[in-house]
Every structure is written in C-alpha cells, then in structure tokens.
C-alpha cells in the first residue's frame, strides 16, 4: 500500500477514545485520512488494489475498501476537530460493547488488506451468516469468517457490521476449521 496515503496503524483500544466509522463525502476518503494524520486523529482507511489495463500498460491504483467510510478513534475533542474538516457527513454511533467487536473486525480487515497487495479482493453487501470458520494455516491463521461456496472455491467473508458490508478472500478448504454451532 502506498505509505503516503496509508501509514500503518495498530488497531488498539485506548482509554477515553472510541473506534467508530465516519461517513465522508463522496471521493473524500483519502483527503480525510490525510487531514486526520495532520490533526492527531487516529484513523484507518482500508484500501484494495485495482489493476486496469490501458492499451499496453497496466495501471495499479488503491481504492477505499468501503467507499464513503473511514474508521477513526475519537473522543469529543477529536470529534469536533474531525467535523471541522468539512469532509465528514456523519459519525456513526458505537456502543461500548460494540467497539470491541468493531476492533476485532478491523483487525481482520487489516489481514485481508495485506492480501489485497497480492490479489483482488471483493467487497460485497453483508452476508447472511452461514457457517462460521477459523483459518488454521496460511497468512490468515486465527481469523474467523463466514463461508460461502462459489465456483468450486471456498470464499471466507469477514463482516464489518457497523457498515453492513463484508470483505472476502478465496481460500483452500484445507486451511479452514469449521466452528461448532
């Protein structure tokens, strides 16, 4: 990922600060992320790789995984700083219990984002829960996700409940362990 747009960030819970999602104006995700970096607001903008061919050359770009959204860690003071950017439409409300779930989901999205450097990821509407699995080997070891079958491949999806969307990656069946219901 281009470091100028997306410096690596550790997704951790801190006292007095709460992770949430900010809904931003269209095509303003990267600008808002840079604004956050300049104003000491911790943010995470998951990106996915897109390669397109134009005539004889391939152009690689990194697009927001969740268009219109940016994840930020806020308190009331940082929230007002963020709103002063004039790029934020709204800040989604997260309960104290919901933040722990969001932090886990964001960590899983970070793992999938690393895969985006090497392949294509699919972002789709939230999946109705199917079979819950844990990845037992490979770069996603320990990650939990929902499985759906497509074209003889196993697709594991990690839901981001606050946005109602998920990120998917194709894995071999040997890499998965089905969780008991």
> Is position 2 within any domain?
no
Per-residue pLDDT of the chain (181 residues; tens, 9 = 90+): 454 345 568 888 888 899 999 999 999 999 999 999 999 999 999 988 887 888 889 888 889 999 999 999 999 999 999 999 999 999 998 887 788 889 989 998 888 887 666 666 666 545 344 777 777 777 777 888 877 765 556 777 777 777 888 888 877 666 777 666 5
Q: Which domain holds residue 46?
A: 18-178
Count of the separate structural domains present in the chain: 1
- Cα 135 to Cα 145: distance, rounded to the nearest angstrom: 8
* H or E stretch at 105: helix 96-116
Res 122: pLDDT? 65
Res 181: pLDDT? 57
CATH number, domain of 78, equals 3.30.70
Res 128: pLDDT? 41
3-state helix, strand, coil in the chain (%, to 5): 25, 40, 40
> Is position 130 within any domain?
yes
Res 163: pLDDT? 84
Res 173: pLDDT? 65
Extract the runs of DSSP E, i.e. beta strands, from the chain: 18-24, 43-44, 47-54, 57-64, 69-74, 88-91, 122-125, 131-135, 144-150, 153-160, 165-171, 176-178
- Cα 122 to Cα 134: distance, rounded to the nearest angstrom: 19
Res 174: pLDDT? 64
> Is position 3 within any domain?
no
> Is position 9 within any domain?
no
Res 3: pLDDT? 44
> Is position 150 within any domain?
yes
> Is position 10 within any domain?
no
């Amino acid at each position: 990922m281009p470091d100028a747009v997306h410096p690596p960030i550790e997704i951790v819970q801190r006292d007095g600060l709460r992770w949430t999602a900010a809904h931003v104006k269209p095509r303003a995700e990267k600008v808002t992320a840079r604004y956050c970096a300049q104003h000491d607001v911790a943010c995470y903008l998951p990106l996915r790789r897109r390669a397109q061919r134009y005539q004889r050359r391939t152009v690689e770009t990194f697009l927001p995984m969740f268009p219109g959204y940016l994840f930020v860690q806020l308190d009331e003071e940082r929230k007002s700083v963020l709103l002063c950017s004039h790029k934020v439409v709204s800040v989604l409300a997260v309960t104290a219990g919901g933040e722990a779930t969001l932090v886990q989901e964001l960590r899983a999205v970070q793992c999938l984002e690393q895969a985006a450097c090497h392949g294509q990821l699919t972002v789709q509407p939230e999946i109705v829960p199917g079979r819950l699995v844990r990845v037992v080997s490979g770069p996603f070891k320990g990650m939990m996700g929902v499985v759906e079958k497509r074209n003889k491949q196993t697709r594991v999806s990690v839901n981001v409940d606050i946005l109602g969307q998920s990120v998917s990656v194709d894995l071999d069946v040997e890499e998965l362990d089905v969780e008991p219901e």
